[in-house]
Structure 1
Amino acid sequence: MRIGIVGPADRAVAWEKHLRPHQSVSEVAIAKQLSGIGNIDACFLLDENPDRLPHLLEAVKAGYHTFLIAPIPTDTQQAQKVYHAAEESNVLVQFSHWPTLAPASKWMSKKISKPSFIQVNREINYTEYAESDHPFEYYWIDELAFCLRWMNGSVHHMDLKTVDLSKQHQYALHILLRFESGATANIFVNATADTSRHHRIAANNHFLLDCDVLEQKVRMGEENGGGHLFFKKQSFDASKAAELSALEFIKSIQLNRQTIYNAYHLWELNKTIDKIKKRLTRV
């Protein structure tokens, strides 16, 4: 398999290191632009520009299975175009939504394939938030994408509440999502905390999982034969996420199966973002 990496040279070299060990990868080509990549079987597109979805669409129409490594795009019309183009061309697309691709998240989704309940608490140190390049919506969109992907179902109802001390700034947001299955996801993001904390809790009828995202540690609770709750602990290496996501993408191509975060997931996410933003204008 000949893999193309399109993007800045320094980032491309880092991703090349993740690909070289795989036996199925016979050659890795690097180019700054898609037009210079030549004949390839799949493309790793390193593109953080605002028009990255049109660039992705170009790769899909060229017939390249493509892994877009960039912040999650939030353009519903472009996402829909990518989804339909991928379906029509029988091309696989994967997006780098790191909360979903993280080793801890993947382990949790194997233990609980269909949660009945997800609770996300994300508190960000205010100084770090004020100095960050990310707007407030970046944080809740990340968690929304995580919940929607894991639940993998349609949202039936949503409630939300914000903390706005002025018309210009939001500092906290609470979102409650109820799915058609009856499952719920509760997301709370607070950008005014004194200490950063980030937990994701999920449960079904068999397990309760509590993930400390910053530490990448998971406590798994289950009942023993006597009805007593006991916990097992797992630790994960977040630095492996990129390497494992590359392997996941290549396996998807080899097995002709949908990628872990694909164009349909992105389209559904963007439609839900639009609904939330519309509600936010009325809150």
Structure 2
Amino acid sequence: MFMSQNLKIGILGPVSRAVVWEKYLRPHPTVSEVVIASDIPALAGVQACILLDEGPDRLATALNLVKLGYHLFIVGRLPMQVAEAEKIFYTAEESGIAVQYSNWAVFSEGTRWMRSQLPRFDLYQSVRELEGMPLESGIEPFMGYILEDVALAQNWSGSNVNRVLANMAVSDAGEPVSIQCYLRFENSSAASVFFIANSRRNLHNRYASGRAGSVFTDVQARKAFYRTSDGGLRADTEYTFDEPEPAHYAVTQFLKTIQLKRDSDFSGYHGLQLARTIRIIREALRR
């Protein structure tokens, strides 16, 4: 809809956070102006918006922004409710509006390197442990800790989920302690996502393997390792990534999505796919 090479970008959210995101935008020559706004009317005249909102109504705000014709980058927790994600996706599709969600697992430098070495996996596994995390009652808050890895697995597989197995360990007080999900995709690849809240250490590792080889990332240490197997010969490659967080790359992707009329690495469609998968996981946990 808006294809000017000089984009006027709005940032809607708390000023303290907006100032940080303004710094990510300023280096881009295609950004002519950045407007920090506290409400939607203050966005008048911008072509795209970065929404910084962790409130319960943030996806309703996102839908309103899409209806107003703003290309949108939604920064915050990924969508878990199908109805909200559907409205955003279909409204954007009908209007030719670009929507991007902030899946930091997909946008991170380590993951991008893993995927460049192994474009398609047969098996994927993520293991995340947190030390001394206060336990919360209920499934919903707990599932927030697996969202990015479930979304990454589905995004990387390039396929839809056709089977889900999910289990959760619960304390005597009824508080979730750990969760494990097994996802089987239509292209026969599979993924396992595990999270535990009361570990004795902090750990976040990702593993993937396929015919071409195997890749491993230690998210906290910011190190990745690739081993390829070809005709019995093995070659090992180690990679260290310095990017502290992937916001710079995500902003670049958002701007290219607008200008080149292409899908983002994690678009409104991917958000809808994730919400549908989370619904299946939620149903499996309640059986």
* Interval of TM-score (by shorter of Structure 1 and Structure 2): over 0.9
1:187-198 map, 5 Å: 187-198=193-204
Q: Report if the CA contact (8 A) 2:100-2:254 is conserved.
A: yes
1:130 paired to 2:134: yes
Partner residue of 2:255? Answer: 250
Alignment-derived partner of residue 273 in structure 2: 268
Cα deviation for residue 131 of structure 1 reads: 7.7
Work out whether residues 164 and 280 of structure 2, in 8 Å CA contact, stay in contact via their aligned partners in 1.
no
2: CA distance, partners of 1:208 / 1:273: 27
Which residue in the other structure is 2:68 paired with? 62
Counterparts of 2:159 and 2:218, CA distance in 1:
25
Q: Percent identity?
A: 33
Q: Which residue of 2 aligns with 1:120?
A: 126
Question: What is the match of residue 95 of structure 2?
Answer: 89
Assess if the C-alpha contact under 8 Å between 2:135 and 2:177 holds in 1.
Answer: no
| Whole-angstrom CA distance in 1 between matches of 2:248 and 2:28 | 10
CA distance in 2, matches of 1:237, 1:47: 27
Structure 1 residues 147 and 224, CA, compared in 2 at 3 Å: closer, same or farther? closer
8 A contact 2:79–2:272 mirrored in 1: no
Aligned to 1:207: 213
Aligned CA RMSD, in angstroms, stands at 1.9
Give the total of aligned pairs.
279
The answer on whether the counterparts of 2:181 and 2:193 sit within 8 Å (CA) in structure 1 is yes
**TM-score, normalising length: structure 2:** 0.92
Q: CA separation in 2, counterparts of 1:224 and 1:185? A: 24
Map of 1:101 onto structure 2:
107
**TM superposition shift of 1:193:** 1.4
Q: Does 1:14 align with 2:20?
A: yes
**C-alpha distance in structure 2 between counterparts of 1:70 and 1:156, whole Å:** 27
4+ aligned runs moved over 3 Å, structure 1: none
**Aligned ranges 1:212-251 → 2 under 5 Å:** 212-223=218-229, 227-251=232-256
Offset of residue 113 of structure 1 = 2.3
TM-score normalised by L of structure 1: 0.93
Which of 52, 56, 63 aligns to 1:46? It is 52
| Partners of 2:49 and 2:146 in 1: CA distance | 29
Q: Which residue matches 2:4?
A: none
- SS of equivalent residue, structure 1 residue 130: coil
Aligned counterparts of 1:18 and 1:161: Cα–Cα separation in 2: 40
